[in-house]
Structure 1
Amino acid sequence: MEKQKLKYMSNSKTFNKFVIVGIINTVIGTSIMFVAYNLFGMGYWISTFLNYFIGSIISYILNKYYTSKSKNRNFTEVIKFIINIIVCYLIAYTVAKNILEFILNSLSSKFIDNISMIFGMIIFVILNYFGQKYFVFKVTDKNIYS
């Protein structure tokens, strides 16, 4: 069954669309985060929150209507999406900040925060992938080919 899932995904135009949406979302969200922090002097938490608040809205809308062309009006799915983003965000950026403050404690807090934002993005992507796959948009055998 796993080979069939991979074959379905690799032959699908949706995979390319998903990658395009990911690139757009990453460029916009990351730009917002670093501009908010470094140019406007907003704090670590506000800057990273803006990234994922705005980025998540863009991601949800583009993936729903462009990638999957979904017409579903599933309120439960939206709630799960929001919960997943919040949990992944809090875990990723708390872990990143705490680890890098400990490791790089002799460096400036601005430098540590910038590195923490990058590290937090990596952790977020990993957590979000699994959260979306197994919690938000959980695929069952009976709906994968429909």
Structure 2
Amino acid sequence: MKNSFVRFIIVGIANTIVGLSVMYILLHAAHLSYWISTFLGNSVGAIVSFFLNKSFTFKSEGSVAKSAIRFIAVILCCYFISYDLARNIVVSVLKDNQFFHTSIKTDLSVLVGTGLYTVLNYLGQKWFVFSKKTGAVISTDSK
């Protein structure tokens, strides 16, 4: 499989299932806030994501430490941009709509934020974290 976006989506499906599960458990079972639930859910998914994307998606041979620092920077930026934007979009679109309960609006915000996060995260990882130009070791072995 040559397309890194397809591999990213495969890894992302697993991460999304794990991350969303944690988010909704924290939101509805633990009754934590939107921000804490989405942050912790994404953090759990991010740990798995880092290792799978480094080895499977982008096949990076770059330094784990350097990649990890860049990875954390990218996911934090993606998190705050996507979930804040999603919450503002959903709230503004459904602001006067009494048909949707507040918890439904929050759940929709989480889903919209997850979609935005996925796209932004892929672009950040491909171009900044695991880019062949940002620290990959080039092999001199000829086969």
TM-score, normalization by structure 1: 0.77
Counterpart in the other structure of 1:137: 130
2:107 to 110, 114, 129: 114
Query: Aligned pair count?
Result: 134
1:101 to 82, 91, 106: 91
Matched, 1:90 2:83: no
Greater relative contact order: 1 or 2 (C-alpha under 8 angstroms, separation 6 or more)? 2
In structure 2, distance between residues paired with 1:129 and 1:67: 10
Q: 1:137 to 1:66 in 2, by over 3 A?
A: closer
Identity percentage over the alignment? 38
Matched, 1:41 2:10: no
Q: 1:95 to 1:67 in 2, by over 3 A?
A: closer
Counterpart in the other structure of 2:65: 75
CA-based RMSD of the aligned residues comes to: 2.8
Cα offset, 1:18, TM superposition: 4.8
SS at match of 2:2: helix
After superposition, the C-alpha distances for 1:65-119 in whole angstroms (9 at most, x for unaligned) are 5666766544221111000000000000000001111111134321111100000
TM-score, normalization by structure 2: 0.78
